[in-house]
Chains A and B, each alone.
Chain A
Amino acid sequence: EPEVTQTPSHQVTQMGQEVILRCVPISNHLYFYWYRQILGQKVEFLVSFYNNEISEKSEIFDDQFSVERPDGSNFTLKIRSTKLEDSAMYFCANLDRGTYEQYFGPGTRLTVT
């Protein structure tokens, strides 16, 4: 069964540094999403991406965040200047347009020190 993969599985960074989280989506899925989950809290929507542009974003997704598909396959989330409160699990997800099922990746645990 095809699956979404994410790298790295764990990233430790210092406050103020830039991080790039990577996702390899399922090949024929065209809708992509990033979510985050702070430890012990709910899964929060960050951004949806379709046809090489952002289709919707949440209040969390401010100017520090950006997304892109640099090579037509990978899907990245960049945080320009990390803050302590960015520490969370970040999940990439793809949508199967036929069934509306979202397939989540295993996540990247980001720790900002």
Chain B
Amino acid sequence: SQKIEQNSEALNIQEGKTATLTCNYTNYSPAYLQWYRQDPGRGPVFLLLIRENEKEKRKERLKVTFDTTLKQSLFHITASQPADSATYLCALDMRGYQKVTFGTGTKLQVIP
């Protein structure tokens, strides 16, 4: 079965720097790879989706890359702010609108 690894449980970064989070997976590449933000006690909030035939996607200060050869996605937050502190989840949707498999998440702390 598909296994997802996110690089670290926690990542501390200075305000203004770029945070880079990693998501690695085994087996087959998903049709869609998604990134979510989750705050304590809340539901995940969708941030970005990238398709298997796309290399990069951007949205404001966020950038996602997808390398199906390495079976890896990188998630970047540029000019990070304390308000960006949250847990970031990588999720794989293998076929589209069916089962979505989540990673364990990386807890990002942006230090002022």
Number of A-B contacts (CB under 8 A): 57
The distance from the CB of B43 to the nearest CB of chain A, in whole angstroms, is 3
Q: How many residues of B contact A (CB 8 A)?
A: 23
CB contact under 8 A between A43 and B98, given known A100-B32, A105-B43? no
Partner of B103 from the list A42, A91, A93, A100 (CB cut-off 8 Å) is A42
For A106, the chain B residues whose CB sits under 8 A away are 42-43
Asked whether A102 lies within 8 Å of B46 as measured between CB atoms, the reply is: yes
For the complex, is B96 an interface residue (Cβ under 8 Å from A)?
yes
For A99, the chain B residues whose CB sits under 8 A away are 49
Q: How many residues of A contact B (CB 8 A)?
A: 27
Partner of A42 from the list B43, B49, B96, B105 (CB cut-off 8 Å) is B105
The distance from the CB of B102 to the nearest CB of chain A, in whole angstroms, is 4
Main secondary structure of the interface of A (DSSP, over half): strand
CB contact under 8 A between A42 and B100, given known A100-B49, A107-B43? no
B44 nearest in chain A by CB position: A104
Using a CB–CB cutoff of 8 Å, the interface residues on chain A facing chain B are: 31, 33, 35, 41-45, 48, 50, 55-56, 58, 89, 91, 93, 95, 97, 99-107
Using a CB–CB cutoff of 8 Å, the interface residues on chain B facing chain A are: 32, 34, 38, 41-46, 49, 89, 91, 93, 96-105
